[in-house]
Amino acid sequence: MPDVKLVGLRKSYGGIKAADGLDLEVKNGEYLCVLGPTGAGKTTLLRMISGLLVPDRGKIFFNGKDFTRMEVEERKAALLSQTYALFPQLTVEENIMFGLDIRGADEKLKEQVLISMLDLVRLSGRSDAYPRELSGGMQQRTALARALASGADLLLLDEPLRALDARLRISLRKEIRSLVKTLKMTAIHVTHDQDEALVMADRVAVIREGRILQIGTPKEVWDEPATPFVANFVGQSNFFTGEVLQSSPFTLLRTPEGTVLKGRSSDLAPGTTAVLGVKIGNTDISKERKGYLKAKVERIIFEGRNLHVDLMIDNGQRISSKVPSWRKGKIAPGDVVDIYWEGSKGTVFPMPPNGLENELKVE
């Protein structure tokens, strides 16, 4: 059961920096999700940990030992790739036994492991099937069993649920996590799906442009985002810019129009320009209660459980709000509503050096 530590990893392809000074610490037995948009360097990170890619600079430690240039097969870090890469000429059983087979494990151990693995991933009846005969979910579970049975301590998952349909994906989330926990493995799971990361992870690391922006429990990352990008990437936020009036016990921000907005305490000096981010799910709209701002409803999208409401404030800025579906019928496009949020739900950030728009861009 290793703890994994990455120090200052750098890797670039031509001019593109896939890892730009990555620092990351994964605790023993932890389930860590690395969350980031496409092209953020997630797969590069995983390949460097697995040893399939050698970093240009920086070091990788497993249990405090330098593993930066250790051979792939010596690391005991099994990779579960997006495509599963089940060996087509081997049956489910032979696939699962691959890791033990090549180590020359004795028959008794192999049989024990096989039976418990088939049982764990509910494939006992299909052990003689070939991968092409299995459904997507079964293939996924076979690949998982193969990785778990290989004797690896560290499980590296590269978007393992990407190719599955939505319902299956949700049930496999729980399954994978509980298997990893049962076997007391350490897992690093890379994904671009924020729901997946929040549900599965002990801690979430948000990555962008080859750098870790924030690492914390799902709740911390959700409620106390470190940067406007994190606030927006993990659960979409509305942003307001203004001048800091005070920073404790609440931060007060005055917009160019003179409206005063409220957010959590911060360490910003009064007078500095700052950005206030509020999750759209925490942005409430009301016709009765007085709010910070007034806005006009532009359109309402029915999403099943929620309504997604697009609004325009007086200064022309567009914002959004998510409200429960039962309020459908009480609001209609064209209505003028009050915008309100709890002061503790707003997070104040210093103005990003290259502007808010660049900061929020997801490429």
Partner 1 sequence: MIALATMADPGSFATGPTLIGDWKHGLVDNADLAAPLAFVSILLILLSLVLLVVIKLVIMKVHLPMGRIWPRPEKLFSRGWFPKTKDGLAVLFLVLFVLIPSFFIFTYVVSVEPASFDWGPFMESLMFSFLVAGVVTVIDIALGVPLALYIAKNRTGRLSEVLDVLVNVPLIVPTAALGYSLGVFWTGQNIIPTYDVLLIILAHVAFTYPLVVRNVAGAVEEVDPAFEETARTLGAKPVQAFRRVLYPIIKSSILAGAIMAFTRSLGETGATQAVVASARTAPVYIVELIQLKTASGYYTAGLACIVLIIVSFVFMLALRYITNRRSH
Positions that interact with partner 1 (CB under 8 A): 50-52, 72-73, 75-79, 81, 83, 85, 87-89, 98-99, 101-103, 146-147, 150-152, 156
User: Shortest approach of partner 1 to residue 100 CB, angstroms?
Assistant: 9
Residue closer to partner 1 by CB (options 151, 333) is 151
Q: Sign of the CA dihedral 278, 284, 287, 292? A: negative
Q: Please state, in angstroms and rounded to a whole number, the distance separating the CA atoms of residues 177 and 200.
A: 6
How many of the other CB atoms lie within 10 Å of CB of 348?
24
Nearer to partner 1 (CB atom), residue 131 or residue 218 = 131
| Comparison of 106 and 357: residue with beta carbon closer to partner 1 | 106
Q: Which residues, 6 or more positions from 114, have their beta carbon under 8 angstroms from its beta carbon?
A: 93, 96, 97, 127, 149
Contact, 147 vs 98, CB < 8 A? no
Q: How far is the CB of 104 from partner 1 (least distance, A)?
A: 11
Beta carbon nearer to partner 1, 46 or 234: 46
**Sheet hosting strand 211-216, strand order edge to edge:** 77-80, 154-158, 186-191, 31-35, 203-208, 211-216
CB of 9 to partner 1, least distance (A): 18
End-to-end Cα spacing for the chain = 36
Taking the alpha carbons of 87, 92, 96, 97 in that order, is the dihedral positive or negative? negative
Within 10 Å of residue 55's Cβ, how many Cβ atoms?
22
- Between 101 and 111, whose beta carbon lies closer to partner 1? 101
**Secondary structure element (H or E) that encloses residue 359, with its range:** helix 356-360
Least separation in angstroms between residue 195's CB and partner 1 is 26
> Toward partner 1, which CB reaches closer, 40 or 152?
152
Please say which residue, 102 or 301, places its beta carbon nearer to partner 1: 102
> What's the closest the beta carbon of residue 60 comes to partner 1, in angstroms?
14
> For strand 186-191 and strand 31-35, is the pairing parallel, antiparallel, or unpaired?
parallel
CB-based burial, 304-333: b 16+ in 10 Å, e otherwise:
eebbebbbebeeeeebbbbbeeeeeeebee
Nearest distance, CB of residue 146 and partner 1, angstroms: 7
Nearest distance from residue 49's CB to partner 1, in Å?
10
Closest by CA to 353, choosing from 213, 211, 227, is 227
Residue placing its CB nearer to partner 1 in the complex, 188 or 295: 188
Please give the backbone phi and psi of residue 322, each rounded to the nearest 5 degrees, phi first. Answer: -120, 120
Q: What are phi and psi of 37, to 5 degrees?
A: -70, 170
Angle at 31 between CA 322 and CA 79, to 5 degrees: 110
Least CB distance to partner 1 at residue 11 (A):
16
- Determine the 3-state secondary structure of 248 from DSSP: coil
* Smallest separation (angstroms) from partner 1 to the CB of 136: 16
Least separation, in Å, of the C-beta of 41 and partner 1? 18
Q: Which residues of 175-201 are buried (b: 16+ CB within 10 A; e: fewer)?
A: bbbebbeebebbbbbbbbbbebbbebb
Would you say 100 or 198 has its CB closer to partner 1? 100
The nearer residue to partner 1, 87 or 302, going by C-beta atoms, is: 87
